[in-house]
Amino acid sequence: MKIAVIGSGMAGLAAARILKDAGHDITIFEALAGRGMDSHSVTFEDGLVDAPLRVMNPHLWKNTLSLAAYLGISTFPVRTYMACSWLFGDKTETWLTTTRSRIGNFPIINNRKGIKQYGWRLVKGMLQLKTAIHQFFKSKNQDITLAEFINNNDIEEVFWHGAVMPVLYTICTCDPKTIGEWPAKPLLVFLKQLTDGDALLRIQGGTPALVDKLIENVDIRSGSSISRVVEEGNKVLVENTAGEVNYFDRVVVATPTTKIEEFLDTKQFADDIALLKQFRFEQGDLVIHTDSSVMPPKRKDWSVLNYLMERNFSRQQFTVWLNSIEPSLVGKTPVFQTWRPITEIDPKKIISTVTLTRAVVDAQTVGLNKELQQRHLNPDRKVFFCGSWSCDGLPILESAVTSAMHIAEIFGAALPFVGLKPQVEVAPQLGY
C-alpha cells in the first residue's frame, strides 16, 4: 500500500521503517526543517550533544535496542554514577555520591557523609521498597496509582524522595505530582528491572545514527507541515501548507494529539478528535549549557547523573554531565543538560534551550488507549494513530517503538527484529 506517516519522532520513524521493510511505499511528512527525532541534537566543539541524551537499560528498552540491532547499529556500555545534593538557599551540599561494583555493576555509596548520615536509611529504604514491590505483584489489586502505593507502604523518606523519585522524575520528564497519578504497575516494573545490575547502553553515533538508518531509502519530506487530512472514497487526501496534495491508501499519524485538529477533517474524524483531545501533555525546558554551578561544589563529586533538590523535596532539578557519557566530548569543555532548572544558569553559557513535550499517564489514559486500539481494529479504518502517548508504560522511547509495532501488526507487517540482542562493543574511554 501507499502509506503516509505524519511526524518523524521515534514512533513515526519506527512505523515507517517496519512498514517499508514489509514492502509498503512510505512517505514521511515532517513539519520541521530536519528530522523530528534528532531535531534538537547539536554539535559542540566538534562533539555530539544529543538532546535529550539517551542511554538505555537492555531490559527496559528491549524493543528499541532490538530495532537498533536489526538496523546494524552497535552500542557500548556506560557506567552511570549518581550524585545527590541539597539546596539551602544559595548554598549547595552534596550528601550522596555513588559508584558501581566491578562485579554485577550494582550501585554503591562511595562518600563518607553518605555512608555515615544516610547509609542505613538508604539500605533500609531499598529493603522496604523490594518488599513492597514483591507484595504488590503478589496482590490481586494492582490497579492503583504510584501515590496510593506509597501511602500503602512505609518507605524511608530520604531513600524514596531523595534517590528513587528523582530517577522517575528524570525518565518520565514530568512533574513529581503527575508521576504520583501514574498507574503504579509499569513504574514498579521499571524500578524492579532497574536494579538488575546490567550496564546501560548508548548507541554508537547517538540519535542521529539511529535516525539515519530508520529513514534509509524512505521518502522523507522535511519542512512539510500538514494542513489537511480527509478521506475521499478509498483514498486519503493529505495536503501540506504549501498546497501540495497527495493521495494514500493509509495514513499513520505520529504526532502529539495536541496537533491533530490542525489537519484532521473535523467532521469526518469528530469521534477520533474527541477521544484524542482527552490525552494530556506536560512541557518543560531542557537547557544545554557549560555553567558548572549546577554541579556538586567539589569537582570530585561530579557524576554522570546529578540531582539537586531542596531538603523538603518541593523542588528539584536533574543534570547530565555529557562529557562522561559521550565519547566525542571527552577532553572538551564540560557541557551539561539540565532539566527544568531551579537555579539560575548563566545566559552567556547556554548553548540551546529545548522545550520537551511528554504525555501524562494516568488511569484515564489507560482506558483511552484501550478504546483507541479497539478502533484501530475496524477493517474500514484508513487513518491510524501512534506515539509514546498511545502506549502505557516506561520508558518514553520504548513506548514509542512499541506503539509503532502495534500499528505494524494491524497492517500484517512482520517484526523481524523482535528478540534480537543489542550489538555491544567495547566501551570507549569516557571522561569520568
Q: Judge whether residue 264 has pLDDT over 90.
A: yes
Most confident of 188-197, 274-283, 402-411: 402-411
Task: Give the pLDDT mean for 368-383.
Answer: 95
Q: Judge whether residue 152 has pLDDT over 70.
A: yes
Fold observed for domain 75-202+281-358: Polyamine Oxidase; Chain A, domain 2 (3.90.660)
Which pLDDT does position 432 carry in this prediction?
A: 47
pLDDT greater at residue 203 or residue 190: 203
Q: Judge whether residue 292 has pLDDT over 60.
A: yes
Instruction: Quote the mean pLDDT of the chain.
Output: 90
pLDDT, one tens digit per residue, over 240-257 is: 999 999 999 999 999 999
SS3 state at 158: helix
Which pLDDT does position 282 carry in this prediction?
A: 86
Domain with CATH 3.50.50.60 in the chain: 2-39+205-278+361-424
Regarding pTM above 0.85, the answer is yes
80 Cβ neighbours under 8 A, 6+ residues apart: 55, 100, 200, 304, 305, 325
pLDDT greater at residue 428 or residue 412: 412
Which pLDDT does position 198 carry in this prediction?
A: 62
Q: Judge whether residue 234 has pLDDT over 70.
A: yes
2-39+205-278+361-424 CATH pick, 3.30.1360.120, 3.50.50.60, 3.20.20.100, 3.40.50.720? 3.50.50.60
Which pLDDT does position 118 carry in this prediction?
A: 83
pLDDT, one tens digit per residue, over 75-106 is: 998 877 889 999 998 899 998 888 765 555 55
300 exposed, middle or buried (CB, 10 Å; 0-12, 13-18, 19+)?
A: exposed
- What is the residue-wise DSSP string for 191-229? HHHHTT-PPEEEETTHHHHHHHHHTTT-EEETT--EEEE
Q: Distance between CA 279 and CA 297 in Å, rounded?
A: 41
Domain with CATH 3.90.660 in the chain: 75-202+281-358
Q: Count Cβ neighbours within 10 Å for each residue of 347-361 and write b for 16 or more, e otherwise.
A: eebebeebebbbbbb
pLDDT, one tens digit per residue, over 381-396 is: 999 999 999 887 667 8
